[in-house]
Structure 1
Amino acid sequence: MAAALAATFVLSVAGCGQKQQQGGNQATLVKTMKVIKRDTPLVYDYTGFVQAQQEMELKAQVSGQITAKYFKGGDNVSAGQTLYAIDQRTYQANVLNAQAGLANARAALANAALNAERYSTLYAQNAISKQVLDNAIMQRDQAQASVNAQEAILENAQINMTDTSVSAPFSGRIDTTALEVGNYVTAGQTTLAKISNTDPVFVQFSIAEPEYLKLSGSHDNSGAASLDNLTVVLSDGSTYDLKGTVAEVNRGINDNTGTMTVKALFRNPAHRLLPGMFAHVQATAGTKKDALLIPMRAVVELMYKKFVYIVGSDNKVTMKEVTLGPSVGRFYMVEGGLTGDETIVVEGTGKIRQGAQVNPQPMTEADLDTTVDNSATAGKKQ
């Protein structure tokens, strides 16, 4: 009985080994596509966000209670338009007081000037001493200094009086958190409202140094400089109808990212672009003849390098490192690593390894819209 059991066990193990070996030799079903070769526009895409060309916090220049508000939150206002009124009573009194002080100072100056002139005549007649004349001249000069001081006090009082009426410093849009009538504001501290200019606007984005150097000397198919004919694609996929141009470039390269910050200027007459919006900035650098394109889903990333699986004539796959260029819709443009004659694995990359035997099923560009790469899911199930 023991011998029979041992023999049965040996046969079972052998059978399992044969099944595993057979299973290991089975070809994995994958979907493949020939590398596409065609003339392709060189479009560089960058993620950015909209910024106001001008933006500021409108602060009170005098203290007091808001007595009037002449706009609604979200309104578009014009430069010089009156926005707020602050209680004027204290500042009116200060102006009147300063005017009275100036009048007194001018009267004192007129009297001192007459004395100085009179003593000057008497001194010429040797009727008074030089010291008496000097004292008269000194009193005249002091009176003039008092007049100057009172004029400055009056001017300051008038400025404060003017500042009780708050105007828009430039044309733009007011936010909806603006203060209402009745609030007390403190000079130089209280923010009344925020105002931003939304025509034109900036779209800020970051660009790698090599791409900036390439685009700065490139032109699109119409002959316009690449950085002077930018396109914006909004978050809903729509393309903004006006072109933009690079207006500001940061002074240097970021040491950590190797990129530089760029601001593109776009006209915004319909105020469609609002500060804070996300937007894709696209720059075109002409057309590349016979460009090599591969589906994005075919790319495998390992240790910060990009690879694709190439299917050989024996249906075995080989991993090949590739250098990728800009994205073109659902594709990457390949700048190095492929010749254009290869067949690559598009779906099923998560189920295969270097040298694996595959059962290739060809697919077309149209299939990319209707198929889903389940390689990641399949890998987890395994």
Structure 2
Amino acid sequence: MNYESKISGEDLDVSTLDDGEDEARNKKRFMIVAAVAAVIILAYVAYQVLAGGGDGAGAAGAEDSQAPAVTVVVPGRQDVVRTINATGTVAARREIPVGVVGDGGRVTQVYVDAGDWVKPGQVMASIDRSVQNQQVARLEASVASARADLNLAQANLDRAARLVERGFISKADIDRLTATRDSNAAQLRVAQAQLGETRARNSFLNIVAPKGGFVLERNIEVGQTVSPGSGILFRLAQNGEMELQAQLSESDLANISVGVSTEVIPVGTNKVLTGQIWQISPMIDSDSRQGIAKVALSYDQALRPGGFASTRITSGTSQAAVLPESAVQNDSKGSFVYIVDKDNKVVRRDVEIGSVSAAGLSITSGLNGTERVVLRAAGFLNPGQTVQPMVEKDKAA
């Protein structure tokens, strides 16, 4: 009995001891958690104080820290050579159509072809003149007969004049002989005029080059019968001179003048030809709102009348912003750039591109040169997006 009571007492003491230790451990854990919470609260308060003490400022700081960094450039303005690009049709500067001047006839020989050069007065084609030659022979005989009649009339008049002093010939006979002589002289002049007319007409039977130049077209063949109604048989470019009829807008026409140098590149070639504007159209097409500037060009094998060519016209200098190609974007609305405003927000700005040079693209409108323009990676940005701008010159420094 005593032994069992002793054992039960020992068991009771051990249980009481374990409960006390658990309570102490729980208190210790609570103190640790409370201390950690206090540290976290103090750290948060300190962060707010350092960040400006407000929730809005903290959010803005977080947003700025997450914004992408972009490289921007302030282009400024510089002197840019104004260049006008245009296209047009190549044509002869002075085109001369050649046809039949005389009566015409059957073509016996053609001496030139398209692509040949001719001199002024050179025979280009000959016409059969066998009938005309017989007409000339007949008229030559008529002239000879009229001259013989005149000589006879003059001799009769001379003999009568010697006899009138002796009284063998009356004054009336002298007047009659004088009239006969004058009539024969007139007939001789008529015959001579007819002969000269026929010879002149025959000289026009040949197709002759009225001016020297380059043969552009030939529309005549041997054996063909031609007449004044046959149309144009040859086309000549006087002295081989060509021109480009460049189509320009109203604003571009207002910025050029006669004598301005140009560069012309015929389509399909890499040749760069130098020319000068020699005429500016005084009228504007009411439908296309364009006019024509004619560029004078010397002959070159690359120039083919009726073909197309492009031209670059230098029309002075102007002040403009210049940007590299990487800064300019294009879409269905046209060319544009992204600029960064004072709040570091991305803003779209539509621009117009002028001349292109090794320095870059000149911006004729849309920028004044003081903007911060996104230099690269603009295709990954959106209007209104916040960024961290890094100026190109500062970055290089």
Q: CA deviation at 1:261?
A: 3.7
Q: Are the aligned partners of 2:214 and 2:240 in contact in 1 as well (CA < 8 Å)?
A: no
Hey, what does 2:170 align to over in structure 1? Answer: 128
1:339 aligns with 2:368: yes
- Name the TM-score, length of structure 2 as normaliser: 0.60
| CA distance 1:255–1:201, shift in 2 (3 Å) | closer
| CA distance 1:255–1:274, shift in 2 (3 Å) | closer
> Which string of whole-angstrom CA distances, capped at 9 and with x for unpartnered residues, describes residues 139-181 of structure 1?
4444333322222221222223333433333343434653221
Q: Are the aligned partners of 1:309 and 1:319 in contact in 2 as well (CA < 8 Å)?
A: yes
Instruction: Provide structure 1 residue ranges, at least 5 long, that are not aligned to the other structure.
Output: 1-30, 217-225, 363-382
Hey, what does 1:63 align to over in structure 2? Answer: 104
Hey, what does 1:279 align to over in structure 2? Answer: 309
Say which structure is richer in helix: 2
Alpha-carbon RMSD:
4.5
CA distance in 2, matches of 1:33, 1:109: 106
CA distance in 1, matches of 2:108, 2:209: 17
CA distance in 2, matches of 1:33, 1:186: 76
Picking from 73, 77, 82, the partner of 2:123 is: 82
Q: Are the aligned partners of 2:96 and 2:237 in contact in 1 as well (CA < 8 Å)?
A: yes
1:162 aligns with 2:203: yes
Report the secondary structure of 2:85's partner residue: strand
Hey, what does 1:147 align to over in structure 2? Answer: 188
CA distance in 2, matches of 1:326, 1:118: 98
Report the secondary structure of 1:230's partner residue: strand
Comparing 230-239 and 282-291, the one that deviates more: 282-291
| CA distance 1:236–1:69, shift in 2 (3 Å) | closer
Hey, what does 2:62 align to over in structure 1? Answer: none
Q: CA deviation at 1:48?
A: 2.5
CA distance in 1, matches of 2:259, 2:84: 11
> Which string of whole-angstrom CA distances, capped at 9 and with x for unpartnered residues, describes residues 331-364 of structure 1?
8643444222253799999xx9xxx64699x9xx
Q: CA deviation at 1:235?
A: 1.9
> Which string of whole-angstrom CA distances, capped at 9 and with x for unpartnered residues, describes residues 85-118 of structure 1?
2112111111111111222222233344445556
Instruction: Provide structure 2 residue ranges, at least 5 long, that are not aligned to the other structure.
Output: 1-69, 390-397
Hey, what does 1:227 align to over in structure 2? Answer: 259
Say which structure is richer in strand: 1
Report the secondary structure of 2:233's partner residue: strand
Listed as ranges, the matches of 1:47-62 within 5 Å are 47-61=87-101, 62=103
> Which string of whole-angstrom CA distances, capped at 9 and with x for unpartnered residues, describes residues 284-333 of structure 1?
2455455445869757898xx9987756446454566x6x5744369864
Identity %: 24
Hey, what does 1:110 align to over in structure 2? Answer: 151
CA distance in 2, matches of 1:108, 1:297: 97
CA distance in 2, matches of 1:207, 1:82: 41
Report the secondary structure of 1:273's partner residue: coil
